[in-house]
C-alpha cells in the first residue's frame, strides 16, 4: 500500500485527530506529519489546542477520533507509558517534577528505565551497583551545569534550574521523538539564550516538536512550522513561508513580528 509506505517514513503521522471537551472542539480533524530528525515548531494563539495536541500525542488525553502513528506504528489505543517505551518523551508547560527528590534521583528515574533496571528490586541503587547509569547521570549533570546541585532537592532550586531539569528529564530518555511544551516559559532573556544553545545541541536524529511563543527560538530552531488555529492546521511550511503567509500574520504573528523577521 502506498499510503502505508509514506506513513512508515514519518516519525509522527496524525490523521483526522479530534478531541472535544463537552462539545467544544479543541482539536478538529487535525492532520499533520513530521519526518524523522525534523525540528517542528507548533505555534498559534492561546487556546489553539497546542498543549492538547501534545497531551493527545503522548497519550495523557484520549483522542475522540483519528489516528496517531509513531514510525509507522499505530498508537492511538496505547496507554501513555507504552508510547513512552516506543521512544516518545515530553516536557511540560508547567514544571512537572519530583519536587521532593534530589536532582540526581529525578534523573535516575529516567535513566534506570532507559537502562532497563526498572524491574530490579534487590540491588541498592548506587554508583557501585549501577556504574553505567550513574556515569551517564554525571555526564548529563555536568554538561547541564547542574553537577553541584545533584544532591539538592529540586524544590529548592531556582525556577530556571527547575525548568532545565524539566527539559533534561525529557531528553535524558534518549527519545526518538521529543515533545517540548514551551521550554522557555517564564525564563529570563539570558536563561532563554542558554536554553536555545542546549536545544540546538540536541542529537540531530532526534525528532523534536516544540510549542513556543518566543519567535526567536521558533525561527532560529525550526525546520518547519505548523500554525494551529482553533484546533485546525491553519498553515504549515518553512519559516520563510510562514513569515510570508498573510493569514498567519493576521491571526498570530501580527505586523510587528513579521517586520522584524522579514
Partner 1 sequence: MNRKNLLAMSVLFLISLVLPWVIAVYPLGIVIEILIYGIFASSLNLLLGYSGLVSFGHAAFFGIGAYTASIFAQNVSANIFFTLPAAVIVSLLAALIIGFFCTRVSGFYFLMLTLAFAQMIYAIAHQWESLTGGSNGLSGIPVPQLWSGFSFEDQKLLYYLILIVFLLVIFGIRRFIASPVGQTLIGIRENEGRLKAIGYNIRNYKLLAFVIAGGLGGVAGALYSYFNGFVSPHEVYWTVSGHAIIMVIIGGAGTLIGPTLGAGFLIILQSVVSSYTDRWYSIVGLTFIAFVLFAPKGIMGLISLLKLPGKKEVTQNFNVEGEKA
Asked if 104 is part of the footprint of partner 1 (rule: CB under 8 A), the reply reads yes
Cβ at position 126, least distance to partner 1 in Å? 5
* Residue from 109, 233, 251, 257 in contact with partner 1 (CB under 8 A): 109
DSSP 169-211: HHHTT--SEEEEE-TTTT--HHHHHHHHHHHHTS-TTSEEEEE
Cβ at position 89, least distance to partner 1 in Å? 8
Query: By C-beta, is 28 or 166 nearer to partner 1?
Result: 166
Residue 144 near residue 169 (C-beta atoms within 8 A): no
Q: Tell me the CB-side half-sphere exposure of residue 28, using CA atoms within 13 A.
A: 13
Asked if 139 is part of the footprint of partner 1 (rule: CB under 8 A), the reply reads no
Q: In terms of DSSP H, where are the helices of the chain?
A: 2-9, 50-58, 80-85, 103-114, 131-143, 159-171, 189-200, 215-221, 239-244, 246-248, 254-260
Asked if 128 is part of the footprint of partner 1 (rule: CB under 8 A), the reply reads yes
Asked if 64 is part of the footprint of partner 1 (rule: CB under 8 A), the reply reads no
Query: By C-beta, is 134 or 144 nearer to partner 1?
Result: 134
* Residue from 21, 77, 131, 143 in contact with partner 1 (CB under 8 A): 131
DSSP state of 259: H
Asked if 213 is part of the footprint of partner 1 (rule: CB under 8 A), the reply reads no
* Residue from 3, 23, 121, 246 in contact with partner 1 (CB under 8 A): 121
Angstrom distance (rounded) from CA 102 to CA 156: 9
Asked if 93 is part of the footprint of partner 1 (rule: CB under 8 A), the reply reads no
* Residue from 10, 26, 52, 134 in contact with partner 1 (CB under 8 A): 134
Q: Give the Cβ contact number of residue 198 at 10 Å.
A: 15
The grid coordinates of residue 147 equal 553537577
The grid coordinates of residue 32 equal 499533520
Angstrom distance (rounded) from CA 225 to CA 149: 36
* Residue from 2, 5, 124, 190 in contact with partner 1 (CB under 8 A): 124
Backbone φ and ψ of 80, nearest 5°: -65, -30
Query: By C-beta, is 25 or 112 nearer to partner 1?
Result: 112
Cβ at position 257, least distance to partner 1 in Å? 32
DSSP state of 123: S
Query: By C-beta, is 124 or 197 nearer to partner 1?
Result: 124
Q: Which of the residues 162 through 181 are near partner 1 (CB under 8 A)? A: 169, 173
* Residue from 43, 110, 218, 225 in contact with partner 1 (CB under 8 A): 110
Rounded to 5°, angle at Cα 30 from 24 and 31: 170
Q: Which residues here bind partner 1, judged by CB under 8 A?
A: 58, 60, 79-82, 84-85, 89-90, 92, 96-102, 104-105, 108-110, 112-113, 117-128, 130-131, 134, 137-138, 150-153, 156, 169, 173
Amino acid at each position: 500500500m502506498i499510503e502505508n509506505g509514506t506513513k512508515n517514513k514519518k516519525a509522527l503521522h496524525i490523521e483526522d485527530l479530534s478531541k472535544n471537551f463537552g462539545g467544544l472542539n479543541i482539536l478538529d480533524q487535525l492532520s499533520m506529519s513530521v519526518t524523522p530528525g525534523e525540528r517542528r515548531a507548533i505555534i498559534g494563539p492561546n487556546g489553539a489546542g497546542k498543549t492538547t495536541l501534545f497531551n493527545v500525542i503522548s497519550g495523557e488525553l484520549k483522542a475522540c477520533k483519528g489516528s496517531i502513528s509513531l514510525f509507522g506504528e499505530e498508537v492511538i489505543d496505547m496507554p501513555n507509558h507504552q508510547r513512552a517505551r516506543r521512544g516518545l518523551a515530553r516536557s511540560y508547560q508547567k514544571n512537572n517534577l519530583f519536587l521532593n527528590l534530589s536532582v540526581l534521583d529525578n534523573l535516575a528515574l529516567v535513566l534506570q528505565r532507559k537502562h532497563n533496571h526498572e524491574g530490579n528490586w534487590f540491588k541498592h541503587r548506587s554508583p557501585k551497583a549501577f556504574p553505567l547509569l550513574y556515569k551517564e547521570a554525571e555526564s548529563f549533570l555536568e554538561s547541564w551545569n547542574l553537577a553541584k546541585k545533584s544532591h539538592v532537592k529540586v524544590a529548592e532550586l531556582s525556577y530556571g534550574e527547575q525548568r532545565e531539569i524539566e527539559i533534561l528529564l525529557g531528553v535524558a530518555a534518549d527519545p526518538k521523538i521529543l515533545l517540548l511544551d514551551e521550554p522557555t516559559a517564564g525564563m529570563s532573556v539570558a536563561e532563554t539564550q542558554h536554553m536555545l544553545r542546549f536545544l540546538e545541541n540536541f542529537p540531530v536524529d532526534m525528532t523534536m516538536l516544540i510549542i513556543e511563543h518566543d519567535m526567536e527560538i521558533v525561527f532560529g530552531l525550526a525546520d518547519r512550522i505548523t500554525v494551529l488555529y482553533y484546533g485546525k492546521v491553519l498553515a504549515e511550511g518553512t519559516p520563510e513561508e510562514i513569515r510570508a503567509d498573510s493569514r498567519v500574520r493576521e491571526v498570530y504573528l501580527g505586523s510587528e513580528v513579521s517586520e522584524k523577521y522579514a
